[in-house]
Structure 1
Amino acid sequence: MYEKFYDFTGMPFQLTPDSRFFYGSKGHSRAIAHLIYGLSQGEGFIIVTGEVGAGKTTLVERLWSELDRETYTLARINTTQVSGEDLFRLTMNAFGINSAGLDKATLLRDFEDMLRAYAAGGRRCLLVVDEAQNLSLQALEELRMLSNVSVEGHASLQTILLGQPQFRRKLASPDLDQLRQRVLASYHLGPLSDEETRAYIEYRLNAVGWHGNPAWTDGAFTAVYRYTGGIPRRINRLCSRVLLYGALEESTTITGPMVDNTANELQHDLEGLPAAQARAPGDDLASQIGAAIGASASDGDERGHSYADLAHRVQVLEETVARRERVFQRLIDVFSGFNATRR
């Protein structure tokens, strides 16, 4: 909806990883450098960790978009809460080997034949495993054993492990010493800085044809960083809702209070409780009730604070309901117009 109002060519803050929206922050650029270095070694494991939503998957999407498709064959595994045996079979399936009804010895032979055929054609196999923190020790050992498979004395499989920070603690286990010895590159992807958060937002807006409408105030950028901590996925989620807010209000400027209101609404939707309001109280009925109750209660009267908090929650709920009514009305208008053109 908002992309039409602001005349964008697409959705700038979609949550699905897309290499077109890759923003080369200092941390992401270094992570790419580590990935490229690891690939240049032609063997072993490459590890990238980071908080949920830090951009690990987008990082690999970007890398894959730059690799020569005639040189690499890529396989991916996203389901990792499985046994070692199941992970082995998932790996076979990811490389196009049908594992149904075949024993492990037969599958290993088929896997070696595949690697040999690719190597003869000058191709290398790359396995990407996401959510590596969920892998069991047995599953990690299966990956290590697969990394030992070689063709004519050369390793034919490289593995990129993407995981949350706790994966590093798991990797420190004495049982994984042999796997650690095969790690050739490792990088921890941190959040964006406040300056990078602003640049990230502008970069993604520019990618869909933004020409300054809507304008963003300095306070808006600051508020986005304050609520998201510089985590890209959180930024995307918040900014997408902020732009919807702006479109519904038919605003050509995104302000700090608009970000505050949207962040509160998001937290209310996701956690059932509103976040602390960053803006000044309004003049609506709920605010007046809260002020009156607060004034009538003594400073030490906890009931006064409870009533004021309840009034504040009523205020937030009123604003949320009013905004959603505008959303529904706008949707009705859009669909009505669509049906009219079809007639």
Structure 2
Amino acid sequence: MYQAFYNFSKKPFKLNADIEFFYESAEHKRAKLYLNYGLSQGEGFVIVTGAPGMGKTLLIKELCENLKLKNNVVFGLIVSSQLGAHDILRVLAETFAIQYEDNKAALLNKLQRFFREKAKEGKRVVLFVDEAQNLPKESLEELRMLLNFEIEPNVFFQVFLIGQEELGRRLYAEDMKQVKQRVTATYHLKALTEEESTNYIIYRLTKADWHDNPQITSAAFEAIYQFTRGVPRLINTFCDRLLLYGFLEELTVIDLKDAQKVFKDFVEESTANAPKKTAIANKKGNSSSEEYPDLNKRIESLEHKLDELMQVVGKEKALLRKAILIQLDIEEMPEIHKE
């Protein structure tokens, strides 16, 4: 809708990991250096962690694009979803188009033969596992055992594990020592700074042939950073909605008040869709806390989020006072923190 209004050649803030929009911030440059170092080692696990929406998948896609230019690397990508130990082996075989029998011993033999064949061709095998925080311990152990094929001369198999922060915590558990000992490089991806956030938005707009229409004021950029905390996926979501609002209001300039209005809409939507904290009595007179334990957990989680959001209100007020650009009533606008 807003693409035609602003004469964009494409949608600048899509949520999917589109390699065309990969923005190499200082943080992503550091991450790539660590990943390339790990790749150069040709062995063991390489770990990439980060909170949801930080751009982990896009970073790995960009690395894979570079690997396509190399003739000595064969790589595959698995998106983990609670894959068991035997399942991870089957999916691994399917990823590399290896014909196998549904027998673990035969499957392992096929994989080992595949690694040897690639080694004879002067190639090494790299596996990327996205959402690796979902992998059970047994599956991680199975991948570790596959790394033991490296003890054979010139046989190289390497695994990149990409996941949320939980993955990093799991690897430091007492019962994961053997896995942790095979880690050759690790990096934790952090959010963008305020300057990077602004540059990220401009970069994506430019990719869509933006020519300063709409104009976006510095106060609006600052507000976007405050609302999204520099998380790329949240920036995409917010800016997409902001441009839609600009189209509906026929704006050629997007200012702080417009960003505040869109943020307020997000808050109202979240509040409207949040579960209500009401006590539902059952026949025995018990409250919903006993009859609906899952509902209670959701309510507690919501209350915790609201507490966090209210703490941000003070920061937002200070920001507006300092800007002295426009006075808005934001007493009813707590910060939202969601994926």
Matched residue SS, 2:184: strand
Equivalent residue, structure 2, for 1:198: 198
Q: Per-residue displacement from partner, 1:110-155 (whole Å, max 9, x unpaired)? A: 1122222222222221111111222211111011011112384234
Residues 94-133 of structure 1 aligned to structure 2 (within 5 Å): 94-99=95-100, 101-133=101-133
Cα distance in 1, alignment partners of residues 11 and 260 from structure 2: 22
Question: Any conservation in 1 of the 2:49–2:167 contact (CA below 8 Å)?
Answer: yes
Equivalent residue, structure 1, for 2:320: none
Equivalent residue, structure 1, for 2:300: none
1:82 equivalent in alignment to 2:83: yes
The CA deviation at 1:97 is 2.3
Equivalent residue, structure 2, for 1:27: 27
Cα distance in 1, alignment partners of residues 265 and 37 from structure 2: 43
Letter in 1 for 2:137: L
Distance change (3 Å), C-alpha of 1:223 and 1:92? same
Equivalent residue, structure 1, for 2:74: 73
TM, length-normalised to structure 1:
0.77
Residues 40-79 of structure 1 aligned to structure 2 (within 5 Å): 40-67=40-67, 68-79=69-80
Equivalent residue, structure 1, for 2:159: 159
Cα distance in 1, alignment partners of residues 43 and 121 from structure 2: 18
The CA deviation at 1:183 is 0.7
Matched residue SS, 1:154: coil
Cα distance in 2, alignment partners of residues 213 and 269 from structure 1: 28
Equivalent residue, structure 2, for 1:136: 136
Q: Per-residue displacement from partner, 1:202-241 (whole Å, max 9, x unpaired)? A: 0111111111111100111111111111000000011011
Letter in 1 for 2:199: A
Residues 176-255 of structure 1 aligned to structure 2 (within 5 Å): 176-255=176-255
Equivalent residue, structure 2, for 1:39: 39
Structure whose alpha-carbon radius of gyration is higher: 1
Equivalent residue, structure 1, for 2:319: none
Which blocks of at least 5 consecutive residues in structure 1 are unaligned? 283-307, 313-343
Question: Any conservation in 1 of the 2:55–2:233 contact (CA below 8 Å)?
Answer: yes
Which blocks of at least 5 consecutive residues in structure 2 are unaligned? 275-308, 317-326, 334-339
Number of positions where the alignment pairs a residue of Structure 1 with one of Structure 2: 284
Cα distance in 2, alignment partners of residues 260 and 147 from structure 1: 52
Letter in 1 for 2:52: V
Question: Any conservation in 1 of the 2:149–2:156 contact (CA below 8 Å)?
Answer: yes
Letter in 2 for 1:42: G
Equivalent residue, structure 2, for 1:324: none
Letter in 2 for 1:197: S
1:149 equivalent in alignment to 2:149: yes
Question: Any conservation in 2 of the 1:53–1:234 contact (CA below 8 Å)?
Answer: yes
Question: Any conservation in 2 of the 1:75–1:95 contact (CA below 8 Å)?
Answer: yes
Cα distance in 2, alignment partners of residues 109 and 48 from structure 1: 29
Equivalent residue, structure 2, for 1:341: none
Cα distance in 2, alignment partners of residues 247 and 75 from structure 1: 41
Q: Per-residue displacement from partner, 1:149-171 (whole Å, max 9, x unpaired)? A: 23842342111111111211110
Cα distance in 1, alignment partners of residues 132 and 182 from structure 2: 16
Cα distance in 1, alignment partners of residues 151 and 186 from structure 2: 25
Question: Any conservation in 2 of the 1:80–1:130 contact (CA below 8 Å)?
Answer: no
Matched residue SS, 1:102: coil
Letter in 1 for 2:222: T
Cα distance in 2, alignment partners of residues 46 and 210 from structure 1: 38
Matched residue SS, 1:109: helix
The CA deviation at 1:105 is 0.9
